[in-house]
Structure 1
């Protein structure tokens, strides 16, 4: 047995690095010991750690990489060749041209790929081959059959490039370039292979020399005479060279910004072991489309590893990876964790998100965790709903989860959605139905009850109120007065937004006088409680706007899951 390295949990930053380091070692088959608050492993596990580091990131994020976009086209090549191009049509030619122009030529001629070619064993002249590969255009009088030989020739050239990229050495270096600029750079930069002035062209050797060798030397050193303490683990250090300036949005250049520290004298530095741990943050976080998420479960390391790996698995296993998956993965992991029969209670947790290049923090209370868990079905039904405003598209699921993470109620969002539903007639811009808005009302009702702002109702006040709106809508349709409903809905929404019960009830009474019906008893509940008033009122307006007929079909058509 060799010497061991022990890492103890601390703040979210070091915790995400420890989770990442553990993921890397486990992925490579190394033995690690995970106890309640710490990770322990043999120093020997750091042998070839630079290979393990990149292999983990490449394996996990493979389908998101440009390298994968290149090699995955091989299935299409094989399909058409096996069928002797019998099914090759105009749209297939368009796809081939797009692949040649936007994938092969674009990526294989990129600066990062060109830098990788010099350290690879296979010295195929990729640049020359991509120049020889041209897109194929059909003239007005030409058909696919007229260009079939050109297409077959293009397929052969494409296959040569794909075979080159599929080689182990190509995957090792080209895919590594991908994870450096799409994954690693989210957490840290400016040093090692992310230093523009680095002299080492091989990113594996660069990482080894910068992060691994110093740890091996540090472990063997006699530290009795060292007078400095590591800022993170309090371990002894001989100097203050290892500052945190390389960490995005966390560190700073101590030589240029000395005013950031007490008395202009920097006292923030870390030992080589902690610096290695910080380099593993990209393996602890989950990243997609320049966004990241990490759940800082700080009570048990094993739980932190499991819940964050659940997030990663849920996000990266999706066939259609998109921006709102960070929230979907987060919710999935929380639900999975709360469903497990654990010996402890899930406490309040910190959610760390990377958005627009900045870290954002939320404390998700136990109450909100329970709401997410009990709202699983409602959340699943709004995943695909959204709307366009100006040039921006908003996903409803994302908007809801964002507010839950911020411990906010959903009344303003519900109001916004109903206004959008009334004002826009373009189904391409409004891809949700009022059935999905009602799902959000159900979630909001649980939030309000959980926060103690609203008494728990013994009946389905949302469903009853929506049905009341639907029946009033039908009465107006029978009186050939359906055109009046939008104006009525506007007045009701204005009353709800300003919490004006008198305005709401006056409008409501006039409506029921018009159809000569009695006001439903559900509105007696609304008068007793301000939050119930809004809940019942918005549900009523939802029924008034769209009713409940064929609601499921509408939600499906508008991109929902109802």
Structure 2
């Protein structure tokens, strides 16, 4: 509702606003009685889903073809045929044709669409003919009424019907009817009439807001997906088989807007339920996201954008006001259900840590590492590990093994390591012991680097090929937490280099849980040093 009203000409704090206690969104009665609710809703749907709609992709494809023709790069090949087929198939889909039949008398150059139905775009046409047809088609599609109609047709069957169905323009028998007229009849008029009516003698209660309503005004909540069964067929779920899951027209209208409350990232709708205040809730689910539109077009970048958005939402909260945050997800597939996940307070504290934030920011800039023939999204994996209470050691081990085959990725591995040890510090409540805590880990890293330098110098080489077999064995020992095997390999390395074995290795041994954690922290720090991690490393800087 807030997103929709912000897009309108309504004045905030006059026609609508947030209450002083930050717990309600209020509407001015006079404004509510006279507002064109259908127009407001349709504009919001078009604005919200337009950039990710099939309609926009069709326009982008048309622009791409026109650019190729104008620059002389248009050729008759498989790619060009697929592009033309995409335009034909999408614009001539049943839903688009039904939409066109409702507006053809109210738009300019409707013959352009009729001609497309008679003769599809083809790569056999000359460049001049194809250019003329595409330019005419683009002009036709960019008319406001065409844009709204086709975007809505894309949205209702791709996005809106993931939240509610079987009512208004989503009732199968209404597929060819005017969408605005249907919405006005089903939602806007009942809302307006409800606000303007008194309900002194009403007996029915809204299951959501508790307001009184007449029997003829009540709306079944069953039109919302996964909220209730068909109330006319299945009454056994209610006490004494008396159905009371009815919505008032105002709540029904708000429920119809529910797709606007979620943000679309990749193949998931996301809602972040920060419920301490209306302002926090709105800010957490803000639609102001310039970077996402382009990123959503790239399959590989989508989840990174999504995770970055979640982090940004979490991190705007003041440290002293941390609390559990609920994340509500819903997939875009018809069979997907709602999923609920809680980000606990401890997780929020981890994400609040400055070093963790810096590490995630670096990984966000360069999220991918190539391992073999595959690309691993390290940023996504690290965040998932934090959210799902897993440590980063399995990921770190995988990255460090990959370093044996390539020289790239040392800085990424070091970032993951730093995130892990600072995660441990937050869990142990040792965030204030920065110098001591970090000093031991950095010292172990430096010990590994110094030993690396001595061994390579003794071998008379600047390549670390002589160390790779040993590093592989050390990583194996770390992966299964084999302290004896790890220390045995380290002792042999120090004996061959004639260096004294540092005291840090003593603290890695023990039976307590803290000792086991130190074994991993110090062990991985030492192996990172063996692989070249050092303050003077340009890649890490």
TM range (shorter): 0.7 to 0.9
Asked whether the 8 Å contact 1:26–1:32 carries over to 2, the reply is no
Change (3 A) 1:379 1:273: same
Match status 1:382 vs 2:363: yes
SS of residue paired to 2:199: coil
Match status 1:435 vs 2:411: yes
Question: In the aligned structure 1, how far is the partner of 2:525 from the partner of 2:403?
Answer: 14
Asked whether the 8 Å contact 1:362–1:406 carries over to 2, the reply is no
Change (3 A) 1:347 1:549: closer
Match status 1:57 vs 2:37: no
Q: Deviations over 1:329-374 (max 9, x none)?
A: 22223334549xxxx8353322223347233333334443343242
Question: In the aligned structure 2, how far is the partner of 1:529 from the partner of 1:332?
Answer: 35
State the Cα distance separating 1:439 from its structure 2 match: 1.0
State the Cα distance separating 1:90 from its structure 2 match: 5.7
Change (3 A) 1:253 1:537: farther
Using the TM superposition, name which of 401-410 and 22-31 deviates more.
401-410
Match status 1:333 vs 2:313: yes
Q: How does 1:354-365 map to 2 (within 5 A)?
A: 354-355=330-331, 357-365=336-344
Asked whether the 8 Å contact 1:469–1:543 carries over to 2, the reply is yes
Asked whether the 8 Å contact 1:296–1:349 carries over to 2, the reply is yes
Within the candidate set 242, 248, 255, 1:278 is matched to: 255
Question: In the aligned structure 2, how far is the partner of 1:440 from the partner of 1:155?
Answer: 52
Question: In the aligned structure 2, how far is the partner of 1:473 from the partner of 1:247?
Answer: 63
SS of residue paired to 1:361: strand
Aligned to 1:251: 228
Question: In the aligned structure 1, how far is the partner of 2:374 from the partner of 2:269?
Answer: 21
Within the candidate set 156, 162, 166, 1:186 is matched to: 162
Q: Deviations over 1:416-467 (max 9, x none)?
A: 4445555xx5x8xxx9713212212222222221111778452355544444
Q: How does 1:288-437 map to 2 (within 5 A)?
A: 288-309=265-286, 312=289, 315-316=292-293, 322-324=301-303, 325-338=305-318, 345-355=321-331, 357-373=336-352, 374=354, 375-383=356-364, 384-386=366-368, 394-419=376-401, 433-437=409-413
Using the TM superposition, name which of 375-384 and 468-477 deviates more.
468-477
Q: Deviations over 1:161-198 (max 9, x none)?
A: 11110011111101112222333233223322222232
Within the candidate set 24, 47, 72, 1:88 is matched to: 72
Change (3 A) 1:204 1:540: farther
Aligned to 1:32: 16
Aligned to 1:143: none
Match status 1:269 vs 2:251: no
State the Cα distance separating 1:310 from its structure 2 match: 6.0
TM-score (normalizing by structure 2): 0.81
Question: In the aligned structure 2, how far is the partner of 1:526 from the partner of 1:262?
Answer: 62
Question: In the aligned structure 2, how far is the partner of 1:265 from the partner of 1:392?
Answer: 57
Aligned to 1:106: 89
Match status 1:66 vs 2:54: yes
Unaligned runs of 5+ in 2: none
Q: Deviations over 1:466-487 (max 9, x none)?
A: 4444444445545379556454
SS of residue paired to 1:287: strand
State the Cα distance separating 1:307 from its structure 2 match: 2.4
Q: How does 1:9-24 map to 2 (within 5 A)?
A: 21-24=1-4
Question: In the aligned structure 1, how far is the partner of 2:224 from the partner of 2:139?
Answer: 37
Asked whether the 8 Å contact 1:433–1:551 carries over to 2, the reply is no
Question: In the aligned structure 2, how far is the partner of 1:267 from the partner of 1:206?
Answer: 26
Asked whether the 8 Å contact 1:492–1:507 carries over to 2, the reply is yes
Question: In the aligned structure 1, how far is the partner of 2:242 from the partner of 2:498?
Answer: 80
Within the candidate set 517, 527, 535, 1:531 is matched to: 517
Asked whether the 8 Å contact 2:265–2:302 carries over to 1, the reply is yes
Within the candidate set 26, 36, 58, 1:48 is matched to: 36
Question: In the aligned structure 2, how far is the partner of 1:393 from the partner of 1:201?
Answer: 47
SS of residue paired to 1:362: strand
Q: Between Structure 1 and Structure 2, how many residues are aligned?
A: 509
Change (3 A) 1:78 1:386: closer
Q: Deviations over 1:50-100 (max 9, x none)?
A: 22212123223433222222334565577678xxx4x42367987655432
Asked whether the 8 Å contact 2:84–2:123 carries over to 1, the reply is no
